[in-house]
A = this chain, B = another copy of it.
Amino acid sequence: MRKLALSVFACLAAAASAQPPAWRPTPLQGATEPADVVAQSAAADWRPIDPENLLVVDLADGGRIVIELAPAFAPVHVANIRRFARAGWWNNATVYRVQDNYVAQWGNGDAQIALPAGVVAQPPAEYERPLAGLALRPLGYPDSYAPRVGHVDGWPVAWDPERHMAWLTHCYASVGVGRDVAPSTGTGGELYAVIGQAPRPLDRNIANVGRVIEGIAFLSARPRGTGALGFYRTDHGEVPIPIRAARLAADMPEAERPRFEVMRTDTPTFAAYVRGRANRGGTFFQVPAGGVDICNVNVPVRRRTAP
């Protein structure tokens, strides 16, 4: 009880000052290592990814980047992205920006190309969505940016219980829609992927539409552009990386489709996985942290053999 009283006092003090409320991690010795949780998981702990939500980007040099789209969070942008893919928008486009510890971006850049039929030229600012309809699993640890963070259906999210709104968090490998300075100027034709420390200030400022689930190193291991914001300076001999084609898995011949599954985030298995991420142990880690940030959970994704 003395501990509880102290905790209330700390909270009062925090409410009165600029300090965040007191929180102490509760490290757990002997938590199952995350890799072992994955190894011991059952088939029912995973959900397959719908091929309509898989964007397969093939680079001219042989690299393949596979992206899962998030229609539950940005339905109009995702519909646009499907139309761009089906119209061949990214075939012969390039990766033209690589900014260290931030993002890699691709598309047709400033080229004046007519939007494909059906693409919404000015989509709504799908930067957050109502909580209603989302089965949220709280992470259980504090966040530096939002009142609450956790997972829904395999996605890392933040939410505000007072405003009843939720949004995808910008984590390593998150995919967003490039836009101009004015909001709602991004169609989905120019996309970026995060290749550094989670740029959470972008949350609620730009449409977060998915995440790279395979091949992120084909973006992160590239030379950085020396122009402002990491744009490649072609006038200095920096060469944008050519994209051969970008297609939806649903449009690929059955035999060629990559198939993936994501660990479900509403199961005891996922709770064990988070516990393992927050309390790394095994042979190497001596001191478990007792906490983890939303962008270091890394929801497992793997190849699926059955269709």
| Cβ–Cβ < 8 Å partners of A280 in chain B | 201, 205
The docked-state distance in angstroms from the alpha carbon of A124 to that of B181 is 52
Q: Is A220 an interface residue (CB 8 A)?
A: yes
Partner of A12, one of B8, B223, B283, B289: B8
A145 touches B25 (CB 8 A): yes
Q: Is A44 an interface residue (CB 8 A)?
A: no
A284 touches B147 (CB 8 A): no
The docked-state distance in angstroms from the alpha carbon of A127 to that of B101 is 25
Q: Is A21 an interface residue (CB 8 A)?
A: yes
CB distance from A285 to the nearest CB of B (A): 5
* Binary interface encoding of chain A residues 163-176 relative to chain B, with 1 for a CB under 8 A from any of its CBs, else 0: 00000000111000
| Cβ–Cβ < 8 Å partners of A306 in chain B | none
Name the residue on B nearest A277 (C-beta). B201
| Cβ–Cβ < 8 Å partners of A8 in chain B | 8, 11-12, 15
B18 touches A7 (CB 8 A): no
Partner of A287, one of B19, B141, B205, B286: B205
Tell me the residues in window 186-212 of chain A with beta carbons closer than 8 Å to chain B beta carbons: 196-201, 203-205
Partner of A296, one of B23, B199, B221: B199
Can you report 17 residue pairs joining A to B where beta carbons are below 8 Å apart?
A: A3-B15, A11-B12, A23-B147, A25-B146, A25-B147, A101-B172, A127-B287, A142-B142, A144-B292, A145-B290, A145-B292, A145-B293, A181-B283, A201-B285, A201-B296, A205-B286, A217-B223
9 other contacts beyond A11-B12, A143-B291, A201-B296, with CB at 8 A cut-off? Answer: A20-B23, A20-B142, A22-B147, A101-B216, A181-B284, A183-B286, A200-B289, A200-B293, A201-B292
